[in-house]
Amino acid sequence: MLIPFDFIFSQFLSSEKLMSAEPYGSGHIHKTYQVKTNSQQDYILQKINHKIFTNVPALQDNIEKVLDYLKKRKDDFDNSLKMILLKNGKSYYLDAQGNYWRAFIFIPDSKTFNKIASSDLAYEGGKAFGSFLYSLQDFPVDTLYETIPEFHDLDHRMSQFEQSVNNDTLQRLNEIETEIEFVSSRVSKMRRILELGKQNKIPLRVTHNDTKINNVLFNKDDKAICVIDLDTVMPGYIHYDFGDAIRTGAASADEDEAELCKMFIDLELFESYSKGFLEQTVEFLNQTEIDELYFAPQLLTFIIALRFLTDYLNGDVYFKVDHEKHNLQRWYAQKQLLLSMEENEHEMRQILKKIEKDLKNKS
Ligand code: ADP
Ligand code: GN1
Ligand code: MG
């Protein structure tokens, strides 16, 4: 039997009466509900995916630390994202069935986009993730628990892929033989960022690591409010954050677009996002980090495409899917996007150089 929502919610706020709890948003990981109560305030109630985040207390501790830190810094950074604590001071509730729950104040009049429709929105998205990184630049990296180890580590993702190919649990391999060839043809060039890291040319920083553009909340006037989904804030390279945001925030279509001709990198959106992002970050990034940004979208598109394909072979056990071939469809869309980024590599590089030059001339 399911534990009723009002019981769960009362663990967080016993003074308010739950009126409704409806599924909300389009995240792939947790079960998210918008809760309305007899007060003016709405809430987000989340059943945390503890198969993916296996140490929920440590996960929650990370988020609390980051939110506290941001609040204390008093930057321009918006501090609207607030978790509700239980009476015992914890930020999660473990129910009798072994499920973990957490609650946030619902940020009023906020919205997210799975795809960005204008340069202004792209600019706002870049500003939001850029200022998040700016504010966290001095956060002590080693105090954060690694919620998903080797999250964007290409070698790790490749070995998971190889394992799923070897297991071929659902005999789906025969469908994707040419896709395996595509993966093999790209791996060595994709090692670039990991290698620069090993050579200490780019530092590990506190990064968000899940900078899908729908992890930015926008207000009624399409201005960015804040970034959300802090589950993967942990050590990473700046390229991970820039790359994943471009993958989703400067693509012409949704992440799972079925009509491949509709999927390409939109250079106008790319330019606007990059401008918003670099305005916030250029002053503290080192030159190699800046010089390599052009390549980051290719790497993250490849890594996440590879994860979709791996999950397809594994029988769709990680990402939420709407239909049987959803993960495969996501793979094809992301592969198409990667091809388009490769074709436009030179232009993307030029755009970034110009933004960097203009910003440095200004200061
Ligand atoms: P997932 O990891 O499953 O993507 P998220 O934490 O991103 O989970 O939450 C899912 C969705 O819920 C978001 O994309 C956003 O639409 C909405 N959401 C999350 N937190 C808030 C909040 N505090 N206020 C308003 N909407 C929110
Ligand atoms: C997941 O949680 P959500 O939906 O924002 C995933 C990301 C992927 C993304 C692909 C913890 O993000 O890494 O890039 O789906 N998050 C986790 O859409 O695996
Ligand atoms: Mg999310």
pLDDT in tens, 271-313: 999 999 999 999 999 999 999 999 999 999 999 999 999 999 9
Distance CA 19, CA 9 (A): 11
> Would you say residue 196 has pLDDT above 80?
yes
State the closest ligand 1 atom to the C-alpha of 27, by its place in the atom list counted from 1: 4
Residue nearest to atom 12 of ligand 1 (CA): 25
Ligand 2 atom nearest to 229, measured from its CA = 5
Taking residues 318-335, what's their average pLDDT? Answer: 97
Average pLDDT over residues 163-192: 97
Instruction: Identify the pLDDT of residue 363.
Output: 79
- Which residue minimizes the CA distance to atom 1 of ligand 2? 28
How high is the pLDDT of residue 62? 97
What 3-state DSSP class applies to 48? strand
| Rounded Cα distance, 33 and 45, in Å | 5
For the stretch 122-152, pLDDT in tens is: 999 999 999 999 999 999 999 999 999 999 9
- In degrees and rounded to multiples of 5, residue 8 shows phi and psi of -60, -50
- Is the pLDDT reported for residue 25 higher than 80? yes
Pocket of ligand 1 (CB under 6 A): 24-25, 27-30, 32, 44, 81, 104, 106-107, 110, 112, 214-215, 217, 228-229
- Measured over the CA atoms of residue 342, residue 266, residue 318 and residue 30, the dihedral's sign is positive
Average pLDDT over residues 204-216: 97
Average pLDDT, the chain: 96
pLDDT of the residue at 77? 66
The percentage of residues in the chain with a pLDDT greater than 90, rounded to a whole number, is 96
- What integer is the mean pLDDT of 99-105? 97
Q: Quickly tell me which residue has 């790497």 as its tokens.
A: 299
Question: Is it the case that residue 74 has pLDDT exceeding 80?
Answer: no
Find the mean pLDDT for residues 342-356. 98
Phi and psi, residue 55, nearest 5°? -115, 85
Pocket of ligand 2 (CB under 6 A): 27-29, 52, 210, 212, 215, 229, 231-232, 244, 255, 304
Residues lying with their CB under 5 A of ligand 3, a single-atom ion: 27, 215, 229
Record the pTM: 0.97
Question: Averaged over 324-346, what is the pLDDT?
Answer: 98
DSSP string, 144-186: S--SSTTTT-HHHHHHHHHHHHHH-TTS-GGGGHHHHHHHHHH
* Ligand nearest to C-alpha 148: 2
Distance 29 CA to ligand 2 centre (A): 7
Any alpha helices (H) in 52-96, and if so which ranges?
56-73
Q: From the alpha carbon of 110, which atom of ligand 1 is closest?
A: 25
**Ligand lying closest to the C-alpha of residue 304:** 2
Calpha distance 270→350 (Å, rounded):
12
Tell me how far the alpha carbon of residue 64 lies from the centroid of ligand 1, in angstroms: 16
Would you state the pLDDT for residue 7? 95
Kindly report, residue by residue over 84-95, the tens digit of the pLDDT. Answer: 999 899 999 999
Residues in the chain: 363
- 197 vs 200: CA distance, rounded Å: 5
The mean pLDDT of 199-210, rounded to a whole number, is 97
The pLDDT of residue 327 is 98
